[in-house]
Structure 1
Amino acid sequence: MSVRLVITDAMWARIEPLMPVDPVRGRRWADHRRTLEAIAWKYRTCSPWRTPPPELGPFQTAHKRLIRWAVDGTWKRILTAVLAAADANGEVGWTVSVDSTVCRAHQHAAGARKKGAADRSEPDDHALGCSRGRLSTKVHLASDSRPRPLTLHVTAGQAADAPAFEAIMAGIRVPRASLGRTRTRPQTLLADRAYSSRAIRGHLRRRGIRAVMPQPTDQIGHRLRQGRAGGRPPTFDAETYKQRNAVERCINRIKQWRGLAMRTDKLAIAYQAALHLVATLIWARR
């Protein structure tokens, strides 16, 4: 059968130097490109792990590679290196938008152990929870203005947006190709009303980041009821806020991958690793 591949030669030229080298002892790694194609095929089609085309090799290789590199942080390091190369070429738009999206979880995603293993950064709830749409996972992300993901974070589906804000901001780390500090601070941050709180606005003010987010109606009413003690309303640039559609477009690009739009992974680290792989491919496609 003919398999529609995802990774082009140009994309692979950017990704190949970032792949781990063969171990000094033991068996050599299977072909990295074929393994990445197998993982991409699984999440692009949302097919079971056991049904890849023969051209992509045994499914055990792809599945073990996904989990192993999720545990040791390889997927995150590859994405960080791709971001650093893009920033060195001036391709990162530092008007950043944050938002979240709920992804339904298939029944196959349930049934993992109640507590994460001690040697893994696996949350006890496996980032699964019951929201209004039943069993689901919420993906929190920050997008640049192009729109491409800068960082991704998963929580249970019923989790609110604001508590994950600091985790998202902490995940924005783009090393400089030359000597210099790792860039962690966008010029402007755009967010909807769910992020409008005194704590978040104070966090951005202390870091010197311009915040563009509307106030909810209840916050406006509370401030007006306080009179002069309520202080001045926060500034809001409606024209700049129109650029927040970038994060919505970024979410749409991620959800084109059916295995991410509907989660089938039991472990949160596996699902997050797939998000990092897809984000890497989105940046490598530039």
Structure 2
Amino acid sequence: MGRGDLTDAEWERLRPFLPVSNGRCGRWRDHRQVINGILHSVRTGVQWRDLPERFGLWKTVYERHRLWSGDGTWERLLQQVQAAADAEDEIDWDISVDSAIVRAHQHAAGARRSAAGTGFKGGRGGGTPGRDTVAEPRRPPGGGGAGGEGLGRSRGGFTTKLHLSADGRCRPLSLIVTPVQRADCTQFITVLEKIRVPRRGPGRPRVKPDSLSADKAYSNGPVREYLRRQGIRHTIPEKSDSQVARMRKGSRGGRPPGFDEDRYKKRNTVERAINRLKQSRAIATRYDKRGYVFLGTATAASVVIWLRT
């Protein structure tokens, strides 16, 4: 077993939830070998063609990662390991929300599009030079497809923004990918509504945290109104301009929002979750051309964090 490969215990936790057939090529085999190859690429950032031979054909590893990123398999695996932790009461539901900026490598640019701008050359291909173009799987929400594959322009060039929520033990609960210019507050509701931890047994999945903390980027009326409507206790500092405008109105400005300094100190958990994710070089720097594949890469790294924490 190589460094970073799944241990026997980790494999047994994932094995029951893996698909057994893709509907075209019969029964899948060697899931463990392929997953180890995917995790090796995520951890090291190595190009798919340069994967060590012990993982099998590089194209098999890449295509399965691409397919699982598109059909939601990685997201379901993340939910199942979260469900196992929730069944043991190991999730701290005092969550935090933030975003991380990820510099995109030049290889992440240039996903091929058709002349009409709606499809992709050769059907709906993976857009990876030197790889066969195959039918594209359904993309899950949050892949950044409409926003130029989740790529935006910043002073440093092509950049991606990864929005996420994390529990009180620094583990990602939900993730979405957008271009860098998307404001954090515009993605807040989407990030929260992607939290979905199934129950082991009867009952609806858990979707609502006990409390939430976020920085000033999320301090606006729609965010606070949504949290009040959902009955979620929250700690978000008030922006200075909002405070000045409220005080200018006098009694008509209303009361200042509540703020718990001790609770706000726990917001660093989401920063530490981001640091854990960026220990994987394929997340610290984005190499994936397609937004939904990069989201699958981040989700696969999150699965490992949950398995090993």
TM-score range, shorter chain: over 0.9
TM-score by length of 2: 0.88
1:262 Cα deviation (Å)?
0.3
Unaligned 5+ segments in structure 1 are: none
For the pair 1:212 / 2:211, whether they are aligned, the reply is no
CA distance in structure 2 between the partners assigned to 1:246 and 1:80 by the alignment? 20
For the pair 1:81 / 2:104, whether they are aligned, the reply is no
1:280 Cα deviation (Å)?
0.9
1:228 Cα deviation (Å)?
0.8
CA distance in structure 2 between the partners assigned to 1:81 and 1:128 by the alignment? 29
Q: 1:205 to 1:126 in 2, by over 3 A?
A: same
Counterpart pick for 1:140 among 152, 163, 167: 163
* Corresponding residue number in structure 1 for 2:291: 268
Report the secondary structure of 1:98's partner residue: strand
* Corresponding residue number in structure 2 for 1:221: 244
Sequence identity (%): 45
Counterpart pick for 2:303 among 263, 280, 286: 280
* Corresponding residue number in structure 2 for 1:182: 205
Q: For structure 1, which segment, 245-254 or 63-72, has the greater mean C-alpha deviation from structure 2 after superposition?
A: 63-72
CA distance in structure 2 between the partners assigned to 1:131 and 1:12 by the alignment? 40
For the pair 1:162 / 2:185, whether they are aligned, the reply is yes
Q: 1:116 to 1:64 in 2, by over 3 A?
A: farther
* Corresponding residue number in structure 1 for 2:104: 105
Q: Match of 1:184, as an amino acid?
A: V
Q: For structure 1, which segment, 119-128 or 225-234, has the greater mean C-alpha deviation from structure 2 after superposition?
A: 119-128
CA distance in structure 2 between the partners assigned to 1:69 and 1:213 by the alignment? 36
Large movers: runs of 4+ above 2 Å = 2-6, 22-28, 113-122
CA distance in structure 1 between the partners assigned to 2:213 and 2:6 by the alignment? 32
TM-score by length of 1: 0.95
Residues 254 and 260 of structure 1 are in contact (CA less than 8 Å); yes or no, is this contact kept in structure 2?
Answer: yes
Unaligned 5+ segments in structure 2 are: 125-136
Report the secondary structure of 1:50's partner residue: helix
Report the secondary structure of 2:174's partner residue: strand
Q: For structure 1, which segment, 70-79 or 86-95, has the greater mean C-alpha deviation from structure 2 after superposition?
A: 70-79
Q: 1:3 to 1:88 in 2, by over 3 A?
A: closer
Report the secondary structure of 1:137's partner residue: strand
Q: For structure 1, which segment, 112-121 or 24-33, has the greater mean C-alpha deviation from structure 2 after superposition?
A: 112-121
Q: Match of 1:129, as an amino acid?
A: G
1:120 Cα deviation (Å)?
3.7
* Corresponding residue number in structure 1 for 2:42: 43
For the pair 1:129 / 2:152, whether they are aligned, the reply is yes
CA distance in structure 1 between the partners assigned to 2:61 and 2:246 by the alignment? 55
1:205 Cα deviation (Å)?
0.3
Q: Match of 1:153, as an amino acid?
A: I
CA distance in structure 2 between the partners assigned to 1:267 and 1:164 by the alignment? 19
For the pair 1:150 / 2:179, whether they are aligned, the reply is no
Query: How many residues get paired?
Result: 285
How large is the RMSD of aligned CA atoms in angstroms?
Answer: 1.7
Report the secondary structure of 1:203's partner residue: helix
1:3 Cα deviation (Å)?
4.1
Report the secondary structure of 2:48's partner residue: coil
Q: For structure 1, which segment, 25-34 or 251-260, has the greater mean C-alpha deviation from structure 2 after superposition?
A: 25-34
CA distance in structure 2 between the partners assigned to 1:132 and 1:246 by the alignment? 28
Q: For structure 1, which segment, 111-120 or 44-53, has the greater mean C-alpha deviation from structure 2 after superposition?
A: 111-120
Report the secondary structure of 1:91's partner residue: coil
